[in-house]
Amino acid sequence: MRGKKAPKRTVSPDPKYGSTAVGRFINYVMLDGKKATAQKVVYDALEKLEKKSEKPALEAFEEAIKNISPMLEVKSRRVGGANYQIPMQVRADRRQQLAFRWLIAATRAKKGKAMSDRLAEELLAATNNQGDAVKKKQDVQRMAEANRAFAHFAY
């Protein structure tokens, strides 16, 4: 590796809930640098989630992210001319990153409603261990379980 490793940036907490997780999620939702729009979408979705789930918004959000976060994933590794899918544990920061990414992808895949409505529905489904983002997590975990025989190739 050349040069220095890039320093980790600290994400400022969001103004409404004071949570760094929500602040980071807003940054993931943001398109073309329009942070105010992303904040409005996320806050509207969290309000709708709070009404539907009858839990505090932040608690429901964290539970949904926990349900989407994968514990294992597979990484490709070349060993002796063959590529193996090796199951690896997922670091905490990557776990959150993948959960956000899958949640937003599942939300954007749906059409016909406002983004805040779709996001609230997907978050509500995730709190109940349902929805497309949770399905994606289960697929990744299943793939890792299926390739458990190659775990001894892990670095």
User: How confident is the prediction along the chain (155 residues), in pLDDT tens digits per residue?
Assistant: 789 999 988 989 999 999 999 999 999 999 999 999 999 999 999 999 999 988 899 999 999 999 999 999 888 888 888 888 888 999 999 999 999 999 999 999 999 999 999 999 999 999 999 999 999 999 999 998 888 888 887 76
The reply to whether 8 falls in a domain is: no
pTM: 0.90
CATH number where 129 lies: 1.10.455.10
The reply to whether 70 falls in a domain is: yes
pLDDT for 79: 84
Strand stretches in 26-81, DSSP E: 72-79
Separation between Cα atoms, residue 87 and residue 14, nearest integer Å = 34
- Tokens 């978050």 belong to which residue? 123
The reply to whether 86 falls in a domain is: yes
Q: How far is CA 22 from the centre of its chain?
A: 12
| Domain count along the chain | 1
The reply to whether 104 falls in a domain is: yes
pLDDT for 97: 95
Collapsing DSSP to helix, strand or coil, 98 comes out as: helix
Measure Cα distances from 111 to 8, 67, 105, 107, 118 in Å.
35, 23, 12, 8, 8
pLDDT for 86: 87
pLDDT for 122: 95
Domain that holds residue 101: 20-153
The reply to whether 9 falls in a domain is: no
Residue type, 4: K
The reply to whether 113 falls in a domain is: yes
